[in-house]
Amino acid sequence: MKKLTVALENKKTNVFIDRTADFSVLELNNKNSLLVTDDTMVKSSAAQSLMDAGIPSVVLGSGEKYKSLESIEKIAETGIKLGLDRGAVIIGLGGGVICDMAAFAASVYMRGCRLVLVPTTLLSMVDASIGGKTGVDFLDRKNLIGSFYPAEKVLIYTDFLNTLPTDEFKSGLAELIKHGFLSGDALLDFIETSRDGILARESEISAEAIYRSLKVKAAYIEKDFRETGCRTHLNLGHTFGHALETAAGLGTFTHGEAVAWGIQRAMKAGLNCGITEAAYAERAESILRKYDYNIDFTDFDHELYIKAIASDKKKKDGELRFILQQKAGITEIRPLDENAIREVLETR
Ligand SMILES: NC(=O)c1ccc[n+]([C@@H]2O[C@H](COP(=O)([O-])OP(=O)(O)OC[C@H]3O[C@@H](n4cnc5c(N)ncnc54)[C@H](O)[C@@H]3O)[C@@H](O)[C@H]2O)c1
């Protein structure tokens, strides 16, 4: 078992990474715990073992549509009916949607109860379960309402990867690879040399890759929990990628595939404005190709893309700011004008 402790303001998140689910680290009180999961993961043997042990559950529908205030109400209502108090533990077992729902509910239930997350997608293992961001979609906008509320424990079990559909796996993998670009050569070397084992979801290699990737995210969020500074580096590829998700039509690309495409655009933009070293841009491109991301895609409405990127909520003082890199581990934030954005839409 691998362990990692992440210190966030006055709280600590203890992360455990292992192969097969084992909830003995939790020492749960059945009368004051609540499992939150979705209608896919409720069938998993891990969720079943918690329910067999007498832990009551709330089962939400699966997918983004359930990232809503109605889901929070459903969790709170169940907690109140069961008589759960402020010392209760909410256990979120599922992908990023369930992690966000369980965490947001825990942050407001009785003004804050205990929270354990069991992420079951690669994306939620390397991203959504760590760092304390919670949010529901509201008025058709993502994460418009939310809070910062880190889990006290995050239990990562690589066996969950075995049932994950390929597109969901690749989506999370893009965030893991992004952590490689942000951290430096050691993690990138590992990502390059362990490609086959990572893609085969071998448990030892997966655990190592997740552990190393999480250490990168942990370093950022320990420095800047509230995202007022360097935590924004974690958005590498995201501003370009989010606009692609809109311009290509929602659902055409998974989030992670769009991020991989966006990282390639960030490398090109960095090259064009003289920030990114040519050899590094080549290496980044070769890694994204090795993992078979569609980084050459240009067949979308560029005007719609420009409109979508202009409305990005991460604008600061009216300027669109992008995360660019000189090389692995050396990252900066730069504004780019419309011409600079158009230029990278044409290039492969
Ligand atoms: N809070 C954060 O810091 C943060 C960071 C990144 C993403 N997010 C959020 O995460 C969400 C996306 O998360 P996601 O990509 O995990 O999607 P998801 O939670 O919708 O899960 C995707 C699908 O996979 C299914 N699934 C989950 N685990 C499975 C498994 N082991 N085997 C088979 N199927 C499984 C789910 O039931 C669902 O149908 C978005 O809402 C995003 O905003 C939050």
Q: What pLDDT was estimated at residue 315?
A: 65
| 191 and 158 belong to one structural domain | no
Q: Give 313's pLDDT tier (boundaries 50, 70, 90).
A: low
| 153 and 229 belong to one structural domain | no
| 147 and 179 belong to one structural domain | no
Q: What is the pLDDT of residues 221-259, one digit of tens each?
A: 999 999 999 999 999 999 999 999 989 987 889 999 999
Contact assessment for residue 291 and residue 199, using Cβ atoms and an 8 Å cutoff: yes
* Whole-number Å distance between alpha carbons of 110 and 226: 23
Task: Using the 3D structure, point to which of 137, 163, 189 is the last residue of a domain.
Answer: 163
Q: What is the pLDDT of residues 102-127, one digit of tens each?
A: 999 999 999 999 999 999 999 999 99
Tokens representing 329 are 């581990």
Q: What pLDDT was estimated at residue 25?
A: 87
Which of 168, 170, 175, 179 is an active site residue?
175
* Whole-number Å distance between alpha carbons of 114 and 106: 6
Question: Per the structure, how many domains does the chain have?
Answer: 2
Q: Which atom of ligand 1 is nearest to the CA of 160?
A: 31
Of 106-115, 161-170, 248-257, 280-289, the poorest mean pLDDT is in 248-257
Q: What is the pLDDT of residues 135-157, one digit of tens each?
A: 999 998 888 999 999 999 999 99
* Domain carrying residue 77: 2-163
Query: Does ligand 1 lie within 6 Å of residue 64's CB atom?
Result: yes
Contact assessment for residue 334 and residue 273, using Cβ atoms and an 8 Å cutoff: yes
Query: In the predicted model, what is the mean pLDDT of the chain?
Result: 95
Which of 67, 153, 255, 268 is an active site residue?
255
Best CA proximity match to 176, nearest among 109, 121, 137 = 121
Q: What pLDDT was estimated at residue 347?
A: 66
Pocket residue to mutate for ligand 1, from 44, 59, 124, most atoms within 8 A of Cβ:
124
217 is catalytic: yes
179 is catalytic: no
Query: Does ligand 1 lie within 6 Å of residue 256's CB atom?
Result: no
Query: Does ligand 1 lie within 6 Å of residue 133's CB atom?
Result: yes
| 126 and 260 belong to one structural domain | no
Query: Does ligand 1 lie within 6 Å of residue 120's CB atom?
Result: yes
